[in-house]
Amino acid sequence: MNDKGAGCHPERAEYYARLTPHNLAPLWEDLGNLLLRAPKPEAVPHVWPYADVRPLLLESGDLITAEEAERRVLILENPALTGRACATDTLYAGLQLILPGEIAPAHRHTQSALRYIIEGSGAYTAVDGEKAYMEEGDLILTPSWTWHDHGNTSDGPTVWLDGLDIPILRFMTTTFVEHYADPVYPETRPSGDSLARYGANMLPVNETRAQTSSPVFRYPYERSREALEKMRQAGGIDPYQGHKLEYINPATGGAAMPTMSSFLQLLPKGFKTESYRATDAAVYSVVEGAGTVRVGGVDLAWGKRDTFAVPAWMPHVFDASEDSVLFSFSDRVMQQSLGLWREQRGNQ
């Protein structure tokens, strides 16, 4: 409540005091904080250098097993949102480690989750009984309420970026989780089945399954990277985005998940974007290259495997010192489905 107005008018202060026991408050004293002229995110721009995080993440492997932890993850906490498990106001991000021979036991939850593979090869996520094997740069989806477990059959550690809509579901109080009776959910389909059925711009005849999330669980980096390179060779580049593609649900043409959009973009060496901002907050993972991003007046330097956050409605400019590929996810699709998403290109 704004005490300034009450202080200038003692009779109002007395009136407000009588409202409190009834769990009432005067809207007019707080209207300016509720109806803002523009978004004011609490999150701040921040980068998590992988060189700093990796040793700490590997150390956790000596302290707790994947089975004990259920998910051995270091949460990427935004400095302005400490203790809230938020990388931005609306998005959760964390780095997960699974060591050779380990299994992270099966569970399911209402949160949608994506995994972007940062380091390692040969581990897997099993989604409703289908294993999606991991290679660096792959995107793997675990849609809402699908059973999933993780395993590592390789001889080295695997690390990936977890992206979830935890803050969104927490706000809507729609969080549920269920644990499977056994560590591993039974195999129902061979590995690669979903990509074979849905990954060639084709759908099985008489498909009846719900398509809220993409039926493709693994988006191989090799394919996505090739598409970006073809765009570069074709010429023309978006001055605000570089060469940028969105991962989609092949059954609908829309975003791959209902609450989070995911993207891959190529910034050629020496390319500097024009100023851009949008109402969706985003978390970025650097797949290739190095550069800087100026976000809301703050300069962040980034390199391969680093993660950084760009809060909502903050002007930002990318400057690539090398050919760079960036993965990102944001809450854009949810905003678009509600008719709320807005962007601004250039300094208007």
**CATH superfamily, with its number, for domain 46-345:** Jelly Rolls (2.60.120.10)
Mean pLDDT, rounded, of the chain: 95
Closest CA to 91 of 346, 329, 339, 345: 329
Q: How confident is the model at residue 347 (pLDDT cuts 50, 70, 90)?
A: confident
pLDDT at 47 over 60: yes
Sign of CA dihedral 127, 130, 133, 136: negative
Give Cα separations from 235 to 214, 228, 274 (angstroms).
30, 11, 18
pTM of the shown model: 0.95
pLDDT digits (tens, 9 = 90+) for 204-238: 887 766 678 999 999 999 999 999 999 999 999 99
Question: Mean pLDDT throughout 287-309?
Answer: 97
Hey, where are the domains in the chain? 3-34, 46-345
pLDDT value for 292 = 98
Question: CB-based contacts of 54: which residues, under 8 Å, 6+ apart?
Answer: 119, 159, 305
As given in the structure block, the two tokens for residue 112 are 């949608």
> DSSP for 23-51?
T---GGGTHHHHS-SS---S---EEE-HH
Q: Which helix (H) or strand (E) holds 223?
A: helix 221-234
- Paired strand residues for 330: 261, 282
